[in-house]
Amino acid sequence: MTDDKLEQLRSSFYESILLLQDEKDIMDALPAPEFQSFFPLMEGLISKLVAECKEFQSLGNDPDILEEVELLKKKIDICKHRVESVKKQVSEDGLESQATCSKRHLIFAKTSFGSTFLQKDLKEIPNEYYDKVLDTLDTLEFGDFGSNTEKVRQLTNNKKLFGLYEIKEFKVRLVYRVLDGDMVYVMQTRMKKDDNSSLDQKDLIYRSRNTNDEFQALKEKIQDSHERELLIMEHEVIRNEILSELKAGKRDGKGDKK
Amino acid sequence: MDNFTKQIKNAQGLRNLEQTKLAYSHEILANLSDDPSLVDVLTEDLGISDTELFEKLSGTTQGNITFYDQSLSSVRVFSKSKNNHSNKTK
């Protein structure tokens, strides 16, 4: 396998976009920001479209040529807009922007039974680590991410563009995604197992996929300020239940559950 | 450009896109066939199940172009890295 083959396939993709005329088909065909390939593909596509546009512009003012130039310009605008909106989303979710919040609202990913994944995950964590779980939740809710970067990181080994973030306290990990500036979606808590890092990653990837529909629906929902407030209130109650459970579990200290 | 010409070009574009994804799939499958252990590495890297991987590579379902491009890029990197490691240990 050579680089030439990949470039050849990419060129073939660009040719497809050049041929497409229908706006909906163009939008559907464009790269989606699912993987890191999104940026090099878009960059290559925009370069190709710009080069084609310049070539057509040099051919004169024939109405067919002008029509072709207009369509190419439209395609370039669509592509540039898509890249800008993805870059904006990535930077909005980034740790720098999270650092400006003094308090974050915790929204807990729910299972199909209506309880939270966090409460489900707690069953796998020994009671003596509940104080660490409490610490991770406290860091997520009130932590100063600007100065706390050793406890908070973006999971860059995950190839999906819209990242997951992880807070750590000793062996305990808390994984979340950013819903909005000051609203975070709590997905998972777990004990880091030294010898099972690939299983950890698989579990997390499955959890991310299983919760993605809910996450996307919540992102839509919070655009309405009334729904946003209701969601915050609902999850304040859930948060308090979880904190009570953790504090009670700490007190009980029944030892390892496994 | 008249409407029929636009429709023809559009249809050519869609078919071309389909052929491109098919060509990507052939290359990815050829790499995986040389070293089936890469399937596990690839699915983990992409964050998908092997069912989803093979549904897209076989054409049962359609993926976005980034899926095919990322899969091919990743499989090449893993293959190269494995070959380098194997050469060093010889």
pLDDT in tens, A34-47: 788 899 999 999 99
Half-sphere exposure of A254 (CA within 13 A, CB side): 8
Q: How far apart are CA B63 and CA B49, in angstroms?
A: 14
Identify the residue among B7, B15, B53, B66 best suited for mutation to test binding to A, counting A beta carbons within 10 A and taking the highest. B66
β-pairing verdict for A172-180 and A165-169 = antiparallel
State which CATH number among 3.30.2130.10, 3.40.50.720, 3.30.2310.20, 2.30.30.240 fits the domain covering A102-252.
3.30.2310.20
Alpha helices in A115-224 (DSSP H): 117-122, 130-142, 197-221
Name the average pLDDT for chain A.
86
**pLDDT per position as a tens digit, B37-80:** 999 888 877 877 889 899 999 999 999 999 999 999 989 888 88
Q: How far apart are CA A34 and CA B70, in angstroms?
A: 9
Look up the ipTM and state it: 0.93
Residues of chain A with Cβ-Cβ distance to B82 below 8 Å are none
Q: Is the CB of B64 less than 8 angstroms away from the CB of A20?
A: no
Q: A193 versus B36: which is more confidently predicted?
A: B36
Every domain of chain A and the residues it spans = 3-93, 102-252
Q: Is the CB of B20 less than 8 angstroms away from the CB of A17?
A: no
B2 lies within 8 A of chain A by CB: no
> Are A109 and A242 in contact, with CB atoms under 8 Å apart?
no
Nearest-by-Cβ selection for A160 from B24, B47, B64 = B47
pLDDT at A200 over 70: no
pLDDT at A1 over 50: no
Alpha carbon distances (Å) from B74 to A45, A162, B43, B70:
20, 18, 10, 6
Is the dihedral angle over the CA atoms A173, A174, A178, A180 positive or is it negative? negative
Q: Is the CB of B12 less than 8 angstroms away from the CB of A19?
A: yes
Predicted pLDDT at B88: 61
A15 lies within 8 A of chain B by CB: yes
A34 lies within 8 A of chain B by CB: yes
For chains A and B, what is the number of CB pairs under 8 angstroms? 104
Nearest-by-Cβ selection for A198 from B31, B44, B65 = B44
Identify the residue among A13, A36, A162, A187 best suited for mutation to test binding to B, counting B beta carbons within 10 A and taking the highest. A13
A202 lies within 8 A of chain B by CB: yes
Predicted pLDDT at A138: 93
pLDDT at A256 over 50: no
Name the average pLDDT for chain B.
89
Q: How far apart are CA A143 and CA B57, in angstroms?
A: 44
Total-model pTM = 0.67
B69 lies within 8 A of chain A by CB: yes
